[in-house]
Amino acid sequence: MDLHITDEIYGQINGAFQIFYAVGFVFMGKFIDRYGTRIGYSVSVFFWSLAAALHALSSSAINLGMWRGLLGVSESGNFPAAIKSVAEWFPKKDRAFATGIFNAGSNVASMVGPPIFIAMSAAFGWRACFLITGGLGFVWLGIWLLLYQKPSEHKGVSDSERDYILSDQEVEVEGVGVGWIEALKHKQTWGFGFAKFFTDPVWWFYLYWLPLYFFDVRKFKLSEIGWALPVIYLMADLGSVGGGWLSGYFIRLGWPVGKARKTTLLIFALCMPIAAMSAMVENTFGAIALISLATAAHQGWSANLYTTTSDVFPKRAVASVTGIGGCLGGFFGFVSSLATGYIVTHFGYTPVFLTMGTFHLIGWVIVHKCMGDFRRIEI
């Protein structure tokens, strides 16, 4: 890239995305609960596709940070809409698995993207990569509007399929979306939110800083980064899908939902301190294996943590609560992005890896204390 960006400036640019992403979460969650999944997600996709394309106009680090901020606030609607959609279409025993599958989809781009973008950048320049990805977003928007409806409104859903979707769901009181103040009265909201607060920055660290870590510390060439990242994100995909399946398997064995979710979360939280040792392993393949464990464990954790909102809250509150949690996670992601740039510049990567390895265990304690047995609440 011709913008002459240092590690600290890179951290600040990522911080711009994170702070707008955090703020956007709260408003987009409320918007989606108010206007529904179909419209809410459409608005989000439209503006994040536009923002992605506008990255091509960047002429300085400040310009790039501005477009990253616009991308952050618009992209923040993704998870509130996706989690609400899963709550609408799946019974509890299948929700974490469904969440794991769609969550894995984002990793597919991280897996196949590096070699594609390297080739595209070499052939057409880095600006073309943003124009193409932004254009693909508009294509997806058309597909979404054409295909998505609620199960009760979808003509392709049979009576038996509809009965299965509703098989373990309680009868809910109809009403409009839930306000922030009402949602914040419940400790379960804070449990989800602060679990996101501590664990989201771990994913952002691995997502943003791994290429620089491989290049600066491990001395990888671009071609080596091009194969290492797909392997790591393939493992993240397996963790996302496998983690979602695991808690559903426990529920099918007859376990209570709370026990199934918390046991699965604990398994993945315990993996993170082990995976953080990657920074102290000299062997390249050993380090990649441990980093792969970290990304897989985090995505397995994330598939289950996201599902807890629909386990505990009624559907008309799911996007709002997800947005509040995403805001807290994004805020600490902003702070940690700035801190990472400073720490890496002055102390290296090892302290960051080791610190990140503790956050999921902190998050699990918070879930255990605040969400308890996952008793269903009515707002």
Which range marks the domain in which residue 121 is found? 7-371
Find the range with the poorest average confidence among 6-15, 49-58, 173-182. 173-182
Distances, alpha carbon 134 to alpha carbons 44, 47, 219, 314, 356, in Å: 13, 10, 32, 34, 32
Whether residue 364 is predicted with pLDDT greater than 90 in this model: the reply is: yes
Whether residue 166 is predicted with pLDDT greater than 80 in this model: the reply is: no
Work out the mean pLDDT of the chain and round it to a whole number.
82
Q: Which residue has the higher pLDDT, 29 or 188?
A: 188
Averaged pLDDT, 39-68: 81
* Domain contains 345: yes
Question: What per-residue confidence (pLDDT) applies to 36?
Answer: 86
Distance between CA atoms of residues 47 and 331, nearest Å: 21
Averaged pLDDT, 258-281: 93
CATH number of the domain that 219 lies in? 1.20.1250.20
What is the phi/psi pair of residue 72, to 5°? -60, -50
Q: How confident is the model at residue 338 (pLDDT cuts 50, 70, 90)?
A: confident
* Domain contains 219: yes
Distance between CA atoms of residues 108 and 123, nearest Å: 22
* Domain contains 379: no
Averaged pLDDT, 325-343: 79
* Domain contains 1: no
Conformation bin of residue 270: beta by default, left when phi > 0, alpha when psi is -120 to 50:
alpha
Residue 374: which residues within 8 A CB-CB, separation 6 or more? 256, 257, 258, 261, 308, 311, 312
Question: What per-residue confidence (pLDDT) applies to 250?
Answer: 92
Structural tokens at position 110: 């991280």
Q: Which helix (DSSP H) or strand (DSSP E) does residue 340 occupy?
A: helix 315-347
> For the packed helices 359-371 and 284-312, what is the interaxial angle rounded to 10 degrees?
20
Averaged pLDDT, 4-27: 75
Q: How confident is the model at residue 29 (pLDDT cuts 50, 70, 90)?
A: confident
Distance between CA atoms of residues 251 and 79, nearest Å: 24
Whether residue 1 is predicted with pLDDT greater than 60 in this model: the reply is: no
Averaged pLDDT, 58-63: 72
Q: How confident is the model at residue 91 (pLDDT cuts 50, 70, 90)?
A: confident
Structural tokens at position 116: 């594609």
Distance between CA atoms of residues 259 and 309, nearest Å: 15
* Domain contains 166: yes
Q: How confident is the model at residue 281 (pLDDT cuts 50, 70, 90)?
A: confident
Q: Are 86 and 223 in contact (CB under 8 A)?
A: no
Averaged pLDDT, 125-133: 80
Tell me, rounded to whole angstroms, the distance of Cα 97 from its chain centroid.
Answer: 15
3-state secondary structure of 110: helix
Find the range with the poorest average confidence among 77-86, 108-117, 159-168, 337-346. 108-117
* Domain contains 29: yes
Q: Which residue has the higher pLDDT, 10 or 323?
A: 323
> Helices (DSSP H) in 125-256: which residue ranges?
126-147, 159-165, 180-184, 187-216, 222-252
Structural domain total, the chain: 1
**Residues 93-120 pLDDT 10s:** 888 888 888 877 777 776 676 677 777 7
* Domain contains 367: yes
Question: What per-residue confidence (pLDDT) applies to 179?
Answer: 63
Q: How confident is the model at residue 261 (pLDDT cuts 50, 70, 90)?
A: very high
Q: What is the pTM of this model?
A: 0.77
Averaged pLDDT, 246-274: 92
3-state secondary structure of 255: coil
* Domain contains 128: yes
